[in-house]
Structure 1
Amino acid sequence: MAQPDLNLLITLDVLLEEGSVTRAGQRLALSPSAMSRALARLRRATGHPLLVRAGRGLVPTPRALELRDRVRGVVQEAREVLRPAARPDLATVDRAFALRASDGFVEQFGPALVAAVGAQAPGVRLWFLRKADKDTAPLREGSVDLETGVIEDAPPPDVLNAPLFTDRFIAVVRPEHPLAEGPLTTARYAAARHVHVSRRGLVDGLVDEALRPTGHHRHVVAAVDGFGAALALARAADLVATVPARHTAAMRQGMAALELPFRAPEVTVSLLWHARLDTDPVHRWLRARVIDVCRAE
């Protein structure tokens, strides 16, 4: 079955409004003969004359009058669909967004982000989800709207990203720890008792790789899966937690932060989202707020 020519709806809308082939042709920039052919096509498509002659002009049939409002609504709706998205009125937006991030990210940047969002769009709600892995499936499936993290492997082509900030690792101990006194040397650092952060358990990480050229190795006595847990252990015992500085600023208040005596590893934290939301005006606005908050501190 042949598909209908939807352009005929625009022609029919103008014809029914003007009630004249000539005037309709002028509005549509069509010659009288081209407009007459368009009317003939409409009659074939609908199986109805639509406009009939009355004296020197044309008048709509009852069926045409019945269609007039419906056709006008369909044409207006189509124009709305094809029109570029209007700038949203943030004061009236009512939406919830799921943002998957680490506990450290939420503690460090969450308060400023909630304040920035609430100041412009009080109806926007943020749902912070704990990030336990690097699987991008939640973004692709739509259960997560935004995600933050370090990109180790190139994401799928339908997952977009933007860098937020670069962070460097530091050593953190409680004020009573022996390393808090005197200069921190590589030998003292390596010989101390360490808590290692890894989702994969007791395996070498970025810090161990950076330390290896010095000929030293860390004395790791515990492993946890998050920076918050590492800092909690270091706060309560004589352990060294080596963590990214900016990411953990809020969590390590009251503790001693020490610059590493060797070349500190750095990581770039990025914002990720799915391509289907790239042009969504409210999502785009929210992405800009996340970027602003992260780059302002």
Structure 2
Amino acid sequence: MARPDLNLLVTLDVLLEEGSVTRAGERLALSPSAMSRALARLRRATGDPLLVRAGRGLVPTPRAVELRERVRGLVHEAEAVLRPVEKLDLATLQRTFALRSSDGFVERFGPALVADVAATAPGVRLQFLQKTKKDTGPLREGVVDLETSVIEDTPPPDVLSKPLFTDHFIGVVRDGHRLGTGAISAERYSAERHVHVSRRGLPAGLVDEALQPTGHHRDIVTVVDGFGAAVALARATDLVATVPRRHTANLRQGLFSFELPFPAPEVTISLLWHVRLDADPAHRWLRDRVSAVCRFGNED
């Protein structure tokens, strides 16, 4: 069975509204003969004359009267589909967004983001997911709407990103730790026992590379997969944790934090999303809110 020509819906809509082949042709920029041919096609498609002569004019058949409102609604709906989205109404927006991040980000920026979203879009729900590994699968599959990450390799073409803030590493020890008094040198820092953070379980990282020119090295006795775990161990033991300053501001409350006695490594935290969501007004709005919260809340 041949598919119907949906362009005829627009022609039918104008014909039923005007009740005149001539006026309908003028609105559609069609000649009288082209308009007559279009009416003939409509009659064949519907199996009904649609408009019949009554004196000098045309009147709709019962079938045409029945179709008038349905056709009008279909044309309006099609026009809405094919035009840009109207201004986003945040007050009535109902949507759930999933954000994936490493530990520390939610503790640091989550409260402000939740409050910011609730103040302008009370129908929006945020779902925070823990990131256990670096992969773009969840973004591609639609499981995750947004993700924060340190970008080490160029993302694939279908994953977009923007920097949120730059962070640098600092040292953290429990209150009363011996590093809490006196000047901290590379030698004093290195002489302590350390907890190292590596999601992949590696025995060294950026901090060790930055420390190497001083001629010292860390005595790493514990490796964990997240900053939250490292800070928790520093809080309960004499271990030294070396973590990003802004990222862990809330986690470090009550602890003694200090600048590293050598050039501290820096990392840039970026926001990532899949290209299919780039033009979505609601998603764009949420990206702006995340950026604003990080911009205004990235200091201790």
TM-score, structure 2 as length reference: 0.93
Task: Please name the residue that 1:91 is paired with.
Answer: 91
Q: CA deviation at 1:4?
A: 3.1
Identity of aligned residues (%): 76
Task: Please name the residue that 2:214 is paired with.
Answer: 214
* Cα deviation 1:186-219 (Å, max 9, x = unaligned): 1221221100001122422111121223332111
User: Bigger shift: 88-97 or 219-228?
Assistant: 88-97
2:281 equivalent to 1:281? yes
Instruction: For structure 2, list consecutive stretches of 5 or more residues without a partner in the other structure.
Output: none
Q: CA deviation at 1:131?
A: 1.2
2:232 equivalent to 1:232? yes
* Cα deviation 1:9-64 (Å, max 9, x = unaligned): 10110101111011112222323233223223323433433222222222222222
Residue 104 of structure 2 aligns to a residue whose secondary structure is helix
Q: CA deviation at 1:2?
A: 4.8
C-alpha contact (below 8 Å) 2:196/2:230 kept by paired residues: yes
* Cα deviation 1:73-130 (Å, max 9, x = unaligned): 2111101111211122211222221111122001100111011011111111111111
Q: Which letter maps to 1:144? A: V
Distance 1:15 1:202, change over 3 A: closer
Cα separation, 2, equivalents of 1:278 and 1:235: 41
User: Bigger shift: 185-194 or 52-61?
Assistant: 52-61
2:183 equivalent to 1:183? yes
Cα separation, 1, equivalents of 2:60 and 2:284: 47
Cα RMSD for the two superposed structures: 1.6
Cα separation, 1, equivalents of 2:60 and 2:66: 10
Cα separation, 2, equivalents of 1:218 and 1:197: 13
Cα separation, 2, equivalents of 1:136 and 1:117: 25
Q: Which letter maps to 2:10? A: I
Aligned pairs for 1:191-210 (under 5 A) are 191-210=191-210
User: Bigger shift: 220-229 or 130-139?
Assistant: 130-139
The alignment of Structure 1 onto Structure 2 pairs a total of residues equal to: 297
Q: Runs (4+) of structure 1 moved beyond 6 Å? A: none
Aligned pairs for 1:15-164 (under 5 A) are 15-164=15-164
